[in-house]
Amino acid sequence: MNQDSFVLRGARVIDPANKFDAVADLVVKNGKIYKVSKSRFEVPSSQVTDVEGKWIIPGQIDTHAHVAGISRDVDPSLGYGMLAKAGTTTVVDMGGTGKNMIDGIKRNGAGLNVA
């Protein structure tokens, strides 16, 4: 494994699409999930992060959020960042205008998909 690869070891991995729910090692290569295995994936310890007791789940989708609002007093990208940190990878923002959302994302980046 190279520097762009690492292993998350010992988390409960839940993947409903593949009917997988177990404590496992999750291997990331070049920024993408490469392998999930119930058995240990042997790599140098410098490439392993112990995540025992944590859960790894698919990104959450929020189909009805009110983040942007019509006021420019609060930057909507702050709300999008909060959603991303909470595990939301896609959000449909029902508040505000498209222009306010796009302006905020351009200024600060959102870290998730926004519709």
d(CA 102, CA 110): 10
Q: Over the chain, what is the mean pLDDT?
A: 83
Domain count, the chain: 2
Same domain for 46 and 66?
no
Same domain, 69 and 52: no
110, 65: one domain: yes
25 and 71 part of one domain: no
Q: Check whether 24 has a pLDDT greater than 60.
A: yes
Residues 73 and 107 occupy one common structural domain: yes
State the Cα angle at 80 between 77 and 85, rounded to 5°: 125
- Residue 70 and residue 47 share a domain: no
Are residues 50 and 13 part of one domain?
A: yes
Indicate if the pLDDT at residue 112 is higher than 60. Answer: no
Q: Are residues 48 and 77 part of one domain?
A: no
Residues 92, 78 share a domain: yes
Which residue range(s) make up the domain with 66? 60-114
**Mind listing the pLDDT tens digit for each residue in 35-88?**
999 998 788 888 999 999 999 999 899 888 888 766 667 777 788 888 888 888
Query: Does residue 75 share a domain with residue 41?
Result: no
